[in-house]
Amino acid sequence: MAIKPIKVSQVNSYIKRILQTDPVLGNISVTGEISNLKFHGTGNVYFSLKDNDSKLNCFLSLEYLKNLHYELVDGLSIVASGNIYVYERGGSYSLNVKDIYIEGVGNLSIAFEKLKEKLQNAGYFDLSHKKMIPSFPGKIAVITSETGAVIQDIIKTIKMRNNYVDILIFPSLVQGKGAAPLIAKAIEDINQFYADVDTIIIARGGGSIEELWAFNEEIVAERIFSSVIPIISAIGHETDFTIADFVADQRAATPTAAAQLAVPETIQIQLYLDDLASQTKRYLNHKISLYDMKLSSRNFDALKQIFISSIALKTYKVEQSKDNIHQRLRHIIVVNEGVLEALKATIDGLSPLQIMERGYGAIINNVGRLVRSISEVSQGEDIDIRLKDGNILSTITQIAIKE
């Protein structure tokens, strides 16, 4: 027998009480495929989970969306955990989702591609956002598992190459649900409290896509993107690419390669320093010899000028002197010609031949000398009397002294 009719709101209220006190519906995990995915302006997400025969409305609040490990997309098979919630006014119920888990490589790949596309469109992978890895770092921070081979490989590699870079190890979970928030926090902490770190290495050894998943989560991508300190990623094996690798400023194939990229070899630095020092020395010497050359060339030019002008001056003087000499010589010649003429007339007048012309003669003794006085001759001596037209050879018979 039916009870008496009750109001719609009473029915819904009753159903709500039944459903929301049920222990199974209060904490339930449901597998299904996402459909009708809608991101509401408030940040809440609405979608349906469906299988071949049925569908279930789902609600994901912004609060839980932030902690989600995957990017959601229609067609993705997920496991959604939460509780059944009844909306009294609408008379409907839905799954209030608190966490989502994805299983299977296929599904994970879909989520991976979805996030990759989203971040790509947001510019997270743009080369213009990539920061330069410092060439000569003083401090390297390493975010990785405290235990295991990875951290040992990195320390060993850095120490082998370089003896001055400090290594700061930030231990973190690198797989499992808690890993991504810890990795994200480590990046944030280093940027905030250890700003003198030059480069951050984020590393993890090889593993399955599930094991590497933390590095495909948006929260890690976001922190890598917003890090002021350059980040090198080395996640998994050489063939594994995670979202973190795409966002990082530099991707290394292995943790060892990351260490090699992060720090230079001390010996190479010293060689580089030595080269720079010898360059400065060489350039200075080059500069000095250049100036030296300039200086001497200027000196030579100056000397040449002085030399040339002094030659010109001397040439001029020589020319002038030459003219003077010519004039003076000519003058001397003219003067002397007159003197010569006069002398000739005098000489002509004095010539013995002229005197002989007038009837005078000269007495030459037997040794050929002109006789000027009777004292120069003696009686009986032969003498030669010269006249204008010949000689008379005679003998002295008498010498008389003038009274």
310 binds other proteins (CB under 8 A): no
Decide whether 87 or 291 has the Cβ nearer to other proteins. 291
62 binds other proteins (CB under 8 A): no
Determine which residue in the list 273, 308, 329, 392 makes contact with other proteins, applying CB under 8 A. 273
Give the C-alpha distances (Å, rounded to integers) separating 367 from 276, 349, 386, 397: 109, 28, 14, 19
Decide whether 165 or 201 has the Cβ nearer to other proteins. 165
| Spatial contact of 80 and 97, defined as CB atoms under 8 Å apart | yes
CB of 146 to other proteins, least distance (A): 8
305 binds other proteins (CB under 8 A): no
| Contact region with other proteins (CB under 8 A), list: 24-32, 157-165, 239-247, 360-368 | 157-165
201 binds other proteins (CB under 8 A): no
166 binds other proteins (CB under 8 A): yes
What angle separates helix 179-193 from helix 218-226, to the nearest 10 degrees? 10
159 binds other proteins (CB under 8 A): yes
360 binds other proteins (CB under 8 A): no
| Contact region with other proteins (CB under 8 A), list: 86-94, 136-144, 173-181, 247-255 | 136-144
- Per CB under 8 A, contacts with other proteins among 229-268 are 266
- Per CB under 8 A, contacts with other proteins among 283-302 are 283-284, 287-288, 291
174 binds other proteins (CB under 8 A): no
Determine which residue in the list 94, 107, 162, 199 makes contact with other proteins, applying CB under 8 A. 162
193 binds other proteins (CB under 8 A): yes
319 binds other proteins (CB under 8 A): no
CB of 170 to other proteins, least distance (A): 5
68 binds other proteins (CB under 8 A): no
Decide whether 273 or 312 has the Cβ nearer to other proteins. 273
| Contact region with other proteins (CB under 8 A), list: 93-101, 229-237, 276-284, 318-326 | 276-284
Residues lying near other proteins in the complex (CB under 8 A): 134-138, 146, 155, 159, 162-171, 186, 189, 193, 198, 266, 269-270, 273, 276-277, 279-281, 283-284, 287-288, 291
